[in-house]
Structure 1
Amino acid sequence: MNVEGIKDKYDIHFEEMFIKLQECQREKGHKTCSICEKFLECEIRDEYVIATYESMSKGKSGGFDF
């Protein structure tokens, strides 16, 4: 969220991917992705990692906006 507490497109995408990741873990009966056989080639996890980075950097390359 930005300073005003309003969600931007990066925060919304992050939340969507977080839910998608949790659903996948629940379906497979895993508490973490690291024990999944598809850990290194998982598209959902890859999208989640990118969404996390973009949410933190707000789409800018380089450092994070904390």
Structure 2
Amino acid sequence: MSNHEDIVIDEWDIKLDNMLVELKTCQKSNSLKTCSDCDKFFECELRKRYVIAVYESMNKGAGGGFEF
């Protein structure tokens, strides 16, 4: 028996992982270390989809707003 909690990977985590791969691929292809260095930062659809994937992963698709 393990002392570590079992890690449950759900559809939201898979989607987030896939988006992160896409984002890192884009950064690498544009020789960037971060999206904030990109001149398309505010207009980038890939980045917008990534932000949505992060949010959905946090709330597991339950909806609502950001609450900190």
TM-score range, shorter chain: 0.7 to 0.9
Bigger CA radius of gyration:
2
Greater share of helix residues, 1 or 2? 1
Which moves more between the two structures, 20-29 or 54-63?
54-63
Structure 1: 5+ residue stretches without partners: none
Q: Tell me the TM-score normalised to structure 2 length.
A: 0.82
Of 14, 38, 52, which residue of structure 2 is paired with 1:50?
A: 52
Q: How much identity, in percent, do the aligned residues show?
A: 50
Of structures 1 and 2, the one scoring higher in RCO (CA 8 A, sep 6+) is 2
Moved beyond 2 Å, runs of 4+ = 61-64
1:62: how far off? 3.3
Q: Tell me the TM-score normalised to structure 1 length.
A: 0.84
Task: Supply the AA of the counterpart residue of 1:38.
Answer: K
Structure 2: 5+ residue stretches without partners: none
Backbone CA RMSD of aligned residues: 1.8
